[in-house]
Structure 1
Amino acid sequence: MSAAGLLLAIPASAADAGPGAPGIGDPYYPTYGNGGYDVSHYDLRLKYQPATDELEGTATLLATATQGLTRFNLDFALDVSEVRVNGRVAKFATSGEQELEITPATPLAKGQQATVVVRYSGVPGKVKRYGFTSWQRTPDGGVAANEPESAWWWFPSNDHPLDKATYDVSVLVPDGSAAISNGVLVSQSSKLGWTRYNWRQNKPQATYLATLAVGKFDITRNTTANGLPVINAYSKDLGDNDGAARASIERTGEIIDWESGYFGPYPFSAAGGYAPNVPTHYAVETQGRVFYSPAQFAGGANPSVIVHELAHQWWGDSVSLSRWSDIWLNEGFASYAQWLWSEHEGEGTAQELADWVYSQHPADDPFWTVKPGDPGAANQFDGAVYDRGAVAIQVLRNKIGDKAFFALLKAWPAQHQYGNGSIAEFQKLAEKISGKKLGPLFETWLFTAAKPAAPPAAPKAGALRAAPAAPQAEPKSWKQIAATHTIHDR
């Protein structure tokens, strides 16, 4: 929300007001998000009992109406006891899978600021929507971490990356348990057998990137050479995966420093990750505090998955997609970061990895039927979005040359920092920086459901070669990169 928006005169009449849309307009998820308002801040005051999985909460949302509103929706799945808008009791009802319909006592005028307070409670582990849950029960608590939705199970929101906001998350848990969330731990205090953790995320954050984990954690604290706080947390019952998880996640500061050389300054006030005792296999780039399933480290330390998730802090978190069909901007570039790490470690160049992926999938492989630039909701996290998406980036690098390519890797996060972007906007920026027309390249590699013909070999090293005469040698890094592919098995 801009400062100019705060100064707008509030119209005297809301006669032209109407209900806000129940969805924000994303073709992949028509009911996700809502229309008619923009949230600037979430203040969440929670109490959680690990033994029973009971969650109580009061959410205060600061929002601005973008139209006259007689009614508006939030996305939420727990039981609501009271709603107030600008201090006055508001009527509320539920509809669909996750729609909380709120009718304020007085309609909101376009440009008017609103404070929305929602009191609620529930047992999130028992709640399913669309046949699934994004709340993971653990032996000593619970975790909210999923994509593209996880907020509904613990706080009401406008659940789409287009509406980003800052956060204060205050969580009361029994002594001996810890509460992990995004950003900086502002304070911690204990009284009468309960401990309160106060977390602050002071940079805009998409709702699906907000995370909450309660359990018995071992928390480590450190700083990078530049003074960036790094806070990591590990469940105390990770068993055989404990050492490998720590050997990987504790490299967070080192990897952030390395990635900053490619993508520009780290965009947030804190960094870190956490590994709770969950049975899942995926990881999520929850902003500034990445969620890792311990299964990611069942085969030993894997810094490659750390590289992937931390690359998302620029590609997906600081710059979020405009709609979910733009997922390549998140996953393609996070995967390509792993390829750059492979080069850094001397275990295979990005070109060798591109050649390997291309050679491993014959033309009739369904792999090529997924379009990374518009994969469809059912294939949003298909392996092709990651692997074919990364090959497309190498082709782009070959086309525009290293100087323009590495300038582009910094320019995109800088120009769209804390906002949103689309593939079309990225293509336009790439064309501006390189001076080349890139429409055919993007169409072939991102929007065509067929194996592209390999581009002709360039006169110098770095071109994707056509139809190699001999089988490609597997790069040394490939097994570790492939081991991270479960990051999208959500």
Structure 2
Amino acid sequence: MVRTGRRSAGSRLAAVVAALACAIGLAATGCTGDRDGFRPGAADVGDPYVPGHGNGGYDVGHYGLDVRYDPSTDRLTGRAVITATTTQDLSRFNLDLVGLEVRAVSVGDAPAEHRRGDGELVVTPRDGLPRGRQFTVTVEYAGVPTAVDDGALGSGGFLHTADGAVALGQPDSAATWFPVNDHPSDKATYDLAVTVPDGLAALSNGVPGPKSSADGWTTWRWSERAPMASYLSTLVIGDYRVVTGTHAGRPMVTAVAASLPATGGAATSLARTGAIVDFLASRFGPYPFDSYGGIVIADDRIGYALETQSRPVYGPGFFADDRPNPSVVAHELAHQWFGDSVSLTRWSDIWLNEGFASYAEWLWEEHDGGRTAQRNFEIQYAATDWTQPSVEPGREQMFGSAVYKRGALAVHALRRTVGDDLFFRILRTWTTERAAGNATTADLVALAERVAERQLRPLFDAWLVGGSAPTLP
């Protein structure tokens, strides 16, 4: 039914107030399309390990990012074109964005209302978006990006450095330099063009594209065509020795900060990337991405290495005293299968990333002439605090020893229980069937039981969450 006719002054004022409430996001109902079943997307994906992260109502398919960064002013200007599909009849939606000013937003070809909240960009399109509709949102933004210190892994986000910047961190980083649905449950492909002063490198994920220069600035281009969780994106800008080649027919890009020794432990370790990838592929199945590489930075604030997709980033402490450290390279490269290709559905299952990557260190050490995986298992078994669980470790312990080492013990216990043939078949089936997607611990248990044709839930429970040392299989 459609009503026509003149409205009173009071009703007109009420309509204005209601429209203003919708525009600034204060009204829960009655906004764009709500009366027709359209409603706002959730402002939080609901993962208690990362409150406020992620958003509902849509699924991102692609990020097209064009950014310019001037190290002399620490100012970044950007344009993000985000392609997504609605998962509900959507009246408005949120993107995660920290500390940057938004100049303009459009949905499709139409300007959209927008406002800022606490780490949020709230977008109200001119018209409601029906469920199943693909749409694009374009965000023009600028400002001085911020760092984050979440108390778990340490410094991250967008960090200004002596010669440029680095955008890195887990679980926080992406929202400090582009608008994003910042949770690993919503993976997407990426294209990035980043413009920096001539003479500086601008390194990121995926396959390198053509570079171009004009007026003292150089634009570097990167493309990641496999779906990527947002925390796995990275941007490293500065003075780096960049080595570009190929391995197994795919681009290989490695880089070491120019302030580090040219032939030292960092460069020597990165040079083994191809050999380590080939070994891991023989155990886990084909390498899942279109490019390889690694980046070693010189900023001591980064006390960790991170499995940024296709091109891990390593803090300088891993190569202290200029010593090679292929073990950390094996760990981060193993994540390309476990964590990057097969990604978390929720952060409480982070052992699926770290347990398998830690176990890969044992496999590589044995292959490289060191201790066997069995010997590492025995040493770690004796040293483990069994009161700390691998699954649901708690926000403060999501990077704790139980996630890494107890997780690796559970992986080897599975191997000892089912035997090598079935064990590696389980791993290869997991990385194949779950490639480019997300998974949970329950998914892994179900797959292992299907492949092994036996009940394995009690084994996983004992090794991952039981409160006392499990019986050795």
Matched residue, 1:80: 102
Instruction: Give the Å deviation of 1:359.
Output: 1.4
Matched residue, 1:432: 450
Letter in 2 for 1:387: K
Letter in 2 for 1:194: W
Equivalent runs, 1:40-119 vs 2, <5 Å: 40-77=61-98, 78-96=100-118, 98-119=119-140
Contact 1:17/1:107, CA 8 A, preserved across alignment: yes
CA-atom RMSD in angstroms: 1.7
Letter in 2 for 1:380: M
In the TM superposition, what whole-angstrom CA distance separates every residue of 1:131-186 from its partner, at most 9, and x where no partner exists? 86522222101101111121011111001111111100000111011110100111
Matched residue, 1:257: 278
1 CA distance for matches of 2:313 and 2:305?
5
2 CA distance for matches of 1:194 and 1:14?
50
2 CA distance for matches of 1:130 and 1:281?
14
In the TM superposition, what whole-angstrom CA distance separates every residue of 1:27-64 from its partner, at most 9, and x where no partner exists? 32231110000110000000000122110000000011
Equivalent runs, 1:115-194 vs 2, <5 Å: 115-125=136-146, 128=148, 133-194=156-217
Contact 1:51/1:140, CA 8 A, preserved across alignment: no
Residue 228 (structure 2) pairs with residue 210 (structure 1)? no
1 CA distance for matches of 2:443 and 2:470?
26
Summarize the Cα distance change of 1:49–1:415 in structure 2 as closer, same or farther, 3 Å threshold.
same
Question: Which of the pair has more CA radius of gyration?
Answer: 2
Equivalent of 1:295 in 308, 317, 328: 317
Instruction: Give the Å deviation of 1:396.
Output: 0.9
Matched residue, 1:360: 383
Matched residue, 1:230: 252
Matched residue, 1:346: 369
Summarize the Cα distance change of 1:379–1:128 in structure 2 as closer, same or farther, 3 Å threshold.
closer
Partner of 1:92, secondary structure, is strand
Letter in 1 for 2:421: K
2 CA distance for matches of 1:92 and 1:138?
32
In the TM superposition, what whole-angstrom CA distance separates every residue of 1:323-367 from its partner, at most 9, and x where no partner exists? 111111100000000111122123111111111011124xxxxx3
Contact 2:276/2:364, CA 8 A, preserved across alignment: no
Letter in 2 for 1:451: S
2 CA distance for matches of 1:385 and 1:60?
36
Letter in 2 for 1:162: S
2 CA distance for matches of 1:116 and 1:14?
24
Equivalent of 2:428 in 410, 414, 417: 410
Equivalent of 1:304 in 327, 330, 335: 327
Contact 1:41/1:62, CA 8 A, preserved across alignment: yes
Letter in 2 for 1:263: F
2 CA distance for matches of 1:309 and 1:147?
13
1 CA distance for matches of 2:109 and 2:320?
51
When the two structures are aligned, how many residues end up with a matched partner?
435
Equivalent of 2:471 in 447, 454, 476: 454
Letter in 1 for 2:310: G
1 CA distance for matches of 2:64 and 2:253?
21
For normalisation by structure 2, the TM-score amounts to: 0.89
Instruction: Give the Å deviation of 1:320.
Output: 0.3
1 CA distance for matches of 2:269 and 2:96?
35
In the TM superposition, what whole-angstrom CA distance separates every residue of 1:245-266 from its partner, at most 9, and x where no partner exists? 0000111111111111011111
Letter in 2 for 1:248: S
Letter in 2 for 1:454: T
Q: Aligned residues: percent identity?
A: 47
Instruction: Give the Å deviation of 1:201.
Output: 0.6
Residue 217 (structure 2) pairs with residue 200 (structure 1)? no
Summarize the Cα distance change of 1:294–1:107 in structure 2 as closer, same or farther, 3 Å threshold.
same
Letter in 2 for 1:332: G
Summarize the Cα distance change of 1:169–1:69 in structure 2 as closer, same or farther, 3 Å threshold.
same
Q: Which consecutive residues of structure 1, in runs of 5 or more, have no partner in the other structure?
A: 1-11, 362-366, 456-462, 464-490
Letter in 1 for 2:457: G
Equivalent of 2:415 in 397, 402, 408: 397
1 CA distance for matches of 2:369 and 2:317?
26
1 CA distance for matches of 2:312 and 2:156?
19
1 CA distance for matches of 2:368 and 2:459?
29
Matched residue, 1:332: 355
Summarize the Cα distance change of 1:130–1:355 in structure 2 as closer, same or farther, 3 Å threshold.
closer
Contact 1:14/1:107, CA 8 A, preserved across alignment: no
Partner of 1:134, secondary structure, is strand
